[in-house]
Structure 1
Amino acid sequence: MKYLKLLLIFIPISIICEVLKLNEVALFFTSAAAIIPLAGIMGEATEEISVYSGPRIGGFLNATFGNATELIIAFFALKEGLFDIVKASIAGSVIGNVLLVLGASMFVGGLKFKTQTFNKSANEVTSSMLLFAVIGLVVPAIFLHTVKPELLSSPHYEKLSIGIAAFMFIIYICGLFFSFYTHKDIYGTNHSEEIKSKWSLKKSISILVLATVAIALESEFLVGSVESVTHSLGLSEFFVGIILIPIIGNAAEHSTAILMAAKNKMDVALEIALGSSLQIILFVAPLLIFLSLIFKPMDFVFNEFELISIIVAVIIANKVSNDGESNWLEGLQLIAVYGILAISFLII
């Protein structure tokens, strides 16, 4: 994390690029570089606040702010009407967390430890929730793409998206209640140990607010320069949304998962990877649908290749994690699948 903070130097650089209207490709990459450490600082501040608030509220804060960076970036893309980028970033975050982050965690941890174990019961709950989330995401889209494609341009389409988003959001709230209250024993987390805070509560809240404002500013720079970047570098908006933006928004979280695996804490790494994917589908995506009503309603239907990629990612992740053990080869397999999908997205 301390090395990521060196990237904070890109905050003033990106502001200079924006104020002086310099090269927009430079603006895109400097703002992207600035977002990475800011996301880490936001996560650190949230962890510090959870020390004062207690495990239940702290867990809710972590769940809420875990994907705040992606939410902020997507909001500005939503504001600009870049719906394809928004939906691609949602799919890309799920694919990236399930394949790249989990794969890298298993691979790095497996190089240090021959076999790593994790809480099988907790993983089964998370995996089943993730499978449900994907079903809720995929089935309506497949129905509209194959059975009744004419509905894509009908007034009923907007109501369908809002209805799906509402169900997703309700399940998300129920999932929080399940894991933090009625069945918290499944996760085997002991909160009895005393954890000392590095920051005061006032400092933690102040840093969280400042980091959020800074991410919002940098996200506006990033989204505003997307069009120029796609034209200059010959990249599609689809690739930017599904590969680049999720990596930028999740970089700090990715590094944390890998570090936890290297310390033989695969439970934590697994929860970061799969739990973050759950938050994206059940919380971030529905919230973006509701926010889109402020500007122009966005649909909840993904294209066929996004759907196939999400299904493949979740199936293989469930397959390699259902025995409660992991090794470096399983991690390498997940990374390889991500690489295959990334190459495919690049040439689309």
Structure 2
Amino acid sequence: MGAREETVHELDGETIAGSPLSVRKMQTFEHVGSLAAVAQTFAPRRTRSRLFMSIYIVIIQAKINVLLPFGPLAVMLRYLTGKHGWVFLFSLIGITPLAERLGYATEQLACYTGPTVGGLLNATFGNATEMIISIYALKNGMIRVVQQSLLGSILSNMLLVLGCAFFAGGMVHCDKDQVFNKASAVVNSGLLLMAVMGLMFPAVLHFTHSEVQYGKSEVALSRFSSCIMLVAYASYLYFQLKSHRSSYNPIVEEEGSNEGDSDEEEVPEITQLEAICWLAVLTIWISVLSGYLVDAIQGASESLNLPVAFISVILLPIVGNAAEHASAIMFAMKDKLDITLGVAIGSSTQISMFVIPFCVVIGWMMGKRMDLNFQLFETATLFITVLVVAFMLQVMINKFVFIAKLSYSDNQPTCWTRHINQVRLEH
């Protein structure tokens, strides 16, 4: 018995010692297990470092974020002092960096979702600030504030921003021609004219006193027109993002510049989950400040001795979209006129064809008599503005097609192809 046990132990020892492959496998498993333990130890540390990096990129890195403390100050002043003038000003200033960061988070998310879904995200969140302020104003029954603020957004985009962008781009690039896409300009101009027609019919019905039921017929017509405009805007999105996406490609003058642009593809700075979380956080904070802003409008008008119309038409659109306006001018100075027109005219198209009809439908659900009757002076101003911008773009398009024909008549078909596919803006 003792000899057998010794033999067994000897055999076991020989088996273990004589199989170095098994030993290496066991050592490998122990090594992998130790790496897994180290990874589990450092995983929370990496998560915290990534969180701090995301906060730094979104909250601290941008220079405009020095205005972020004005938001909490507005909330504190609302409950400590009750001075509506300061609450309004601080809320207005505090919303400005939030609107810019909301656009940044949307652009970061669009890097992951692709151009189609990214275009829809830009259409949704591009004017999220105006939509949130309008919904709060509708809830408080301030229909004129909603109408005037949305009208002011359209006028500021088409007159102030577009004019400053053309002027700044012309001053910087005075020795060359700037180029923009013809298809985008023509389609946006047509949609703006359609939106103006939708806004004119309720006003004409009201001021001609031809209603069957005074006050009710214009509301019914406004709701019907709003539904038609929403369908038209959805069709426009399908046209732009799906069926004719190639028509909206940015114009480049040379093939070499196209190759250079491909090398400078935008790399996202935050992850997809972080972008979604930041969109939710920024939207909630904008909603909170918008509530305080709307509640303080009437008191601010009295304390600052400013009419509500001036606050609605001038202050709310310009300050609320200050970051977007500045970016449009900067893109024009960088010779990216396509993006400038997309920000200025495209944003006006979104407001007129989507945000205004959406507010009418939301007011319908709330039981508010929100309509498209923007009064005679405001409607005439909008009509003249859209007409002037559309006429200016169409004149430039026709002018450069004429230049293309002259180039073709000089036996230069390459110039014909070049000019027929792009529109040049001379200074």
What TM-score, normalized by structure 1, do the two folds share?
0.89
Where does residue 124 of structure 1 map in the other structure? 186
Q: Tell me which amino acid in the other structure corresponds to 2:188.
A: T
Structure 2 residue 214 is matched with structure 1 residue 142: no
Q: Tell me which amino acid in the other structure corresponds to 1:165.
A: S
CA deviations over 1:130-180 (Å, ceiling 9, x no partner): 1112112223322322252674423x3332221011011000100000011
Of 216, 228, 231, which aligns to 2:299? 228
Of 110, 115, 119, which aligns to 1:55? 115
Where does residue 29 of structure 2 map in the other structure? none
Structure 2 residue 330 is matched with structure 1 residue 259: yes
Structure 2 residue 64 is matched with structure 1 residue 11: no
Where does residue 224 of structure 2 map in the other structure? 163
Q: Tell me which amino acid in the other structure corresponds to 1:315.
A: L
Q: Rate the CA distance shift 1:173–1:153 in 2: closer, same or farther, 3 A.
A: same
- Alpha-carbon offset, residue 262 of structure 1: 1.0
> Which runs of structure 2 are paired with 1:196-345 in the superposition (5 Å)?
196-293=267-364, 294-322=366-394, 323=396, 324-326=423-425
Looking at structure 1, the residues matched to 425 and 293 of structure 2 have their Cα atoms a distance apart, in angstroms, of: 37
- Alpha-carbon offset, residue 249 of structure 1: 2.1
For the Cα contact (< 8 Å) 1:107–1:327, is it kept in 2? no
Looking at structure 2, the residues matched to 287 and 144 of structure 1 have their Cα atoms a distance apart, in angstroms, of: 21
Where does residue 21 of structure 2 map in the other structure? none
Q: Tell me which amino acid in the other structure corresponds to 1:90.
A: L
The runs of 5 or more residues in structure 2 that have no matched partner are 1-60, 251-257, 397-422
- Alpha-carbon offset, residue 295 of structure 1: 4.2
Q: Tell me which amino acid in the other structure corresponds to 2:239.
A: F
- Alpha-carbon offset, residue 2 of structure 1: 2.8
Structure 2 residue 199 is matched with structure 1 residue 153: no
Task: Provide the aligned C-alpha RMSD in A.
Answer: 1.9
> Which runs of structure 2 are paired with 1:26-65 in the superposition (5 Å)?
26-65=86-125
Looking at structure 1, the residues matched to 248 and 80 of structure 2 have their Cα atoms a distance apart, in angstroms, of: 52
Where does residue 343 of structure 1 map in the other structure? none
Where does residue 98 of structure 1 map in the other structure? 158
Q: Tell me which amino acid in the other structure corresponds to 2:145.
A: I
For the Cα contact (< 8 Å) 1:27–1:225, is it kept in 2? yes
Q: How many residues align?
A: 327
CA deviations over 1:175-207 (Å, ceiling 9, x no partner): 000011111111125997753110011111111
Where does residue 72 of structure 1 map in the other structure? 132
Structure 2 residue 252 is matched with structure 1 residue 180: no
For the Cα contact (< 8 Å) 1:258–1:269, is it kept in 2? yes
Q: Rate the CA distance shift 1:86–1:119 in 2: closer, same or farther, 3 A.
A: same
Q: Tell me which amino acid in the other structure corresponds to 1:297.
A: R
Aligned identity (percent) is 36
Looking at structure 1, the residues matched to 102 and 426 of structure 2 have their Cα atoms a distance apart, in angstroms, of: 31
- Alpha-carbon offset, residue 22 of structure 1: 3.5
Looking at structure 2, the residues matched to 2 and 325 of structure 1 have their Cα atoms a distance apart, in angstroms, of: 34
The runs of 5 or more residues in structure 1 that have no matched partner are 329-348
Q: Tell me which amino acid in the other structure corresponds to 2:74.
A: S
Q: Tell me which amino acid in the other structure corresponds to 1:101.
A: V
Looking at structure 2, the residues matched to 327 and 147 of structure 1 have their Cα atoms a distance apart, in angstroms, of: 47
Which one is further off, 93-102 or 106-115? 106-115
CA deviations over 1:13-33 (Å, ceiling 9, x no partner): 112112213421010000000
Q: Tell me which amino acid in the other structure corresponds to 2:90.
A: T
Looking at structure 2, the residues matched to 312 and 227 of structure 1 have their Cα atoms a distance apart, in angstroms, of: 30
> Is the partner of 1:153 in helix, strand or coil?
coil
Which one is further off, 294-303 or 253-262? 294-303
Q: Tell me which amino acid in the other structure corresponds to 1:38.
A: L
Q: Tell me which amino acid in the other structure corresponds to 1:163.
A: F
Which one is further off, 270-279 or 231-240? 231-240
Looking at structure 1, the residues matched to 368 and 335 of structure 2 have their Cα atoms a distance apart, in angstroms, of: 46
- Alpha-carbon offset, residue 117 of structure 1: 2.2
Where does residue 133 of structure 1 map in the other structure? 195
Looking at structure 2, the residues matched to 320 and 148 of structure 1 have their Cα atoms a distance apart, in angstroms, of: 35
What TM-score, normalized by structure 2, do the two folds share?
0.73
Quick one: higher RCO (CA 8 Å, sep 6+), 1 or 2? Answer: 1
